Amino acid sequence: MNAKIILIPLAIIAIALALVLADPPREPDPRVGLVINPPDRSVSLEQLGRIYSDAASSGIGRSNVYMFWNIVEPQRGEFDWRNYDALFDAAKQNGLRTTLFFSIINGVTLGPFPDWMGNPQLGSVDSQSLVKVLDAALSRYDSIDAVIIAGQTESQFRRSEHNMPAYEALFSEVYDGVRAAHPDVRMGNSFALHHVLNKDLEHIVKELSDGDFAAFSYWPVDSLNDIVKTPSEAGEDLKKVFEMTPGNVAFFEIGWSTSGFVGGDDASQKEFVGVLFDFYGQNESKIEFLTWYKQHDMSEGTCGSRQSSIGDKQVELDGSGLGGNEHVIERLDRYVCNAGLLKTDGTAKPGWDEFKKRAGMQN
């Protein structure tokens, strides 16, 4: 009788000790991210909150926000944050750090710039005005810890390398101004690794690897946007970034489409997720952040148009340099629209489960 009375408290003590000594919950790795997007272009605040919550549940610690000057400062010195407050609020509520892409260079496109600026070339963009708007954004949104002002930079200078010194001067002035006010924020330029490799543009990366890191996007495609690499071959491509820049690297948008039209499938996407996280684990000390592109698929026909409306501007979005080639544009649409880890109806692809497993292992 007494033995039974003694055994119960001992069992309770053993359970309590196990709970106390167990590893505490780990925080998400702030360097592992996901481009968070709704499956449709229109979304309610409630839906946005749910989408961010679902993304954060995967174990990520960051996402991207894409900001455009003509939207955020339509009148000189007058900022309009309405299009961004909800995104940053959702990120903050879910404990996510943010990589800010502020579009000065977006492939072959400059800007878009506000009307009050006219249509400046790189040499005439006022660095102080750019520092001012970036300072306003960084002061308002404290989740931002990385800034990129040029994406697919190699496409901008592929046929105009003579303009590179003007951009280098602009970047240097903006970098100094931003770091003076926000010393913990890091800055760099971004390049499309697949374009760099397909078109032998490594020298542009080496020339413009200014700032704290060189960032890269990556698709396993040829110049026509067809998938031509196996996951293991794509992993070998990723290693080449360390030959192009002496400093740290980042992966701003990296992913794999499941569209059979361009040679993708669910199994290859899942396999590449594993390859990517293996690569990250082997090179973690040299990688600023790694962000998967993207969360949700979108409806085909909405992702590959030649032009897109950004505020009151129409901009060219194709950075491949192949312009209006219908063959390329169709493949761009199919690739991008099917690059998500979740289908448009929210159904998980095998890659989503693999992503959650591997992202969780990093924590």
Q: Examine the pLDDT at 244 and tell me if it is beyond 80.
A: yes
The pLDDT value given to residue 287: 98
Asked if pLDDT for residue 347 goes beyond 50, the answer is: yes
Asked if residue 113 belongs to a domain, the reply is: yes
Does residue 9 belong to any structural domain of this protein? no
28-51 residue pLDDT tens: 899 999 999 999 888 899 999 999
Does 215 reside within a domain?
yes
358: three-class secondary structure by DSSP: helix
Answer whether residue 54 is part of any domain: yes
User: Is the pLDDT reported for residue 265 higher than 90?
Assistant: yes
The alpha carbon of residue 1 and the mean position of all alpha carbons in its chain are separated, in whole angstroms, by 65
124 located within any domain: yes
CA neighbor of 58 nearest in space, from 342, 345, 272, 343? 342
Indicate the average pLDDT of the chain.
90
For residue 18, being part of any structural domain is answered with no
* Domain count across the chain: 1
Average the pLDDT over each of 45-59, 137-151, 295-309 and give the range with the smallest value.
Answer: 295-309
pLDDT at 61 over 90: yes
Domain range enclosing 269: 29-362
The Cα–Cα gap between 245 and 240 comes to 10
Rounded Cα gap, residues 275 and 231, in angstroms: 7
pLDDT in tens, 115-159: 999 999 998 999 999 999 999 999 999 999 999 999 999 999 999
**What is the predicted pLDDT for the residue at 27?**
80
Element (H, E) at 204: helix 202-207
Residue 24 lies in a domain: no
* CATH classification at residue 238: 3.20.20.80
| pLDDT tens profile 3-31 | 444 444 444 444 444 444 444 456 889 99
Q: Yes or no: say if 32 and 62 are a contact pair by the CB < 8 Å rule.
A: yes
| pLDDT in the model for residue 303 | 87
User: How high is the pLDDT of residue 314?
Assistant: 58
Residue 274 is assigned to a structural domain of this protein: yes
Percent of the chain predicted with pLDDT > 90: 80
